[in-house]
Amino acid sequence: MRIEQNYSLEKHNTFHVPAKTRWFMEYDTEEELGRILRDEYFQECLSVHIGSGSNLLFINDFNGIIVHSRIKGITMAEETDERVTLRVGAAETWDDVVAYAVSRGWGGIENLSLIPGETGAAAAQNIGAYGVEIKDVIETVEAYNQLTLEKRVFTAGECEYGYRSSYFKNEHNDPHIITHVTLRLSKKPRLSLGYGNLREELEANHPEPTVADVREAVIAIRRRKLPDPEKLGNAGSFFLNPVIPAERFEELKAHYPEIPSYPAADGKVKIPAGWLVERCGFKGKKEGHVGVYERQALVLVNLGDARGHEIALFAESIREAVRQRFGIELMPEVKYIG
């Protein structure tokens, strides 16, 4: 267990904002996590559990306890001729899990290559890209209830997954801390190539692609479109793609015939927020230390010395512009803390 006081979170958020936390705690085992959760001081303090901070925005210094897991490890839970089940520690870097599976030819998560973050957070957020979501391969999620201190093994159904949402993100539920995630992968993978430019990317060189080819193609697309957080602070998509009623979409389409869209649940329509932001003139725009990435309008970037509140203010100006022009309320995908 590691405990720090007045600790800089700069290396714990991919925006690299220099917020500090009053306390920082890192645990290595479930037993250590249990000790933290039972501690009376901990129970009285404001606390937030983080992964690698790739989907967070620290608005200000945090007057509480930031908790981080170091529970790692990938173990084989079950194997048949058809499939394997892997039990993964929540602190395992997600892309390392993808690389591990792909190098063995196991399919199911290759489309989720190069997504920053740790496995526990990936399962809480239901990360998704190129037509696949982590929920598609999740068998169970092991988590501690922060209030009752009980451990529970959630089935995929009990995780209540939706687009970037889950039981764990729903504020009406007791807060839970995920310790392990069990993934079901296929030894005879069926590739998911339906997402536009993924197939194009593969067609040129790989008429019969393998999971490794898909991983390579996804990495190439992501590298072209998204900034590397190590070089330019960012948290991936800043906003969710809004889902609107079909009638509202038809009205918009009458004004903007070129508006892109995808079918969503319950007959609704999902609009790429990047298109809305770009149409409001924000793509590549810079204001002070904050900017919108020039190749993907959904990504806000820290141009060097941005503070969290500056990024939040800039995001607010984007939301206001989209609200005024399209009557659509963009919701942040990143979680604000502080």
Residues numbered 238 to 267 that lie near ligand EPU (CB under 6 A) are 240-241, 260
27, 84, 190, 227 from 213: Cα distances, Å: 37, 20, 13, 22
Residue 20 or residue 222: which is nearer to ligand EPU going by CB?
Answer: 222
Query: What is the DSSP secondary-structure string of 136-148?
Result: GTEEEEEEEETTT
Largest distance between two CA atoms of the chain: 60
CB of 333 to ligand EPU, least distance (A): 5
104 is an active site residue? no
Q: Give yes or no: 40 in active site.
A: no
- The tokens describing 164, both together, are 């970037």
- Enumerate residues 83-142 that contact ligand EPU by CB under 6 A: 129-130
What is the phi-psi region of residue 62: left when phi exceeds 0, alpha when psi lies from -120 to 50, beta otherwise?
Answer: beta
Among 278, 323, 325, 328, binds ligand EPU (CB under 6 A): 278
d(CA 297, CA 207): 32
Question: Smaller CB distance to ligand EPU: residue 65 or 137?
Answer: 137
Q: Which is nearer to ligand EPU, 17 or 235 (CB)?
A: 235
- Judged by CB under 6 A, which of 274, 291, 308, 332 binds ligand EPU? 274
Which of 140, 237 has the CB closer to ligand EPU?
237
Contacts with ligand EPU, 314-333, as mask; x by CB under 6 A: -------------------x
Residue 25 and residue 36: Cα distance in Å, rounded? 9
Q: Quick check: 236 binds ligand EPU (CB under 6 A)?
A: yes
Quote the least distance from Cβ 240 to ligand EPU, whole Å. 5
Q: Is 154 in the site for ligand EPU (CB under 6 A)?
A: no
Shortest Å distance, C-beta 64 to ligand EPU: 26
Known active-site residue 325:
no
**Judged by CB, which is closer to ligand EPU: 37, or 124?**
124
**Annotated active-site residue in 113, 237, 307, 319:** 237
CA quadruple 112, 114, 119, 121: dihedral sign = negative
3-state secondary structure of 230: coil
Are the C-beta atoms of 295 and 202 separated by less than 8 Å?
Answer: no
- The answer to whether 43 touches 149, Cβ cutoff 8 Å, is no
User: Residues in contact with ligand EPU, total (CB under 6 A)?
Assistant: 17
296 closest CA partner among 244, 247, 239, 258:
239
d(Cα 99, Cα 101) in Å, to the nearest integer?
A: 6
Just list the catalytic residues.
Answer: 164, 237, 333
Residues that bind ligand EPU (CB under 6 A): 129-130, 225, 236-237, 240-241, 260, 272, 274-275, 278, 283, 296-298, 333
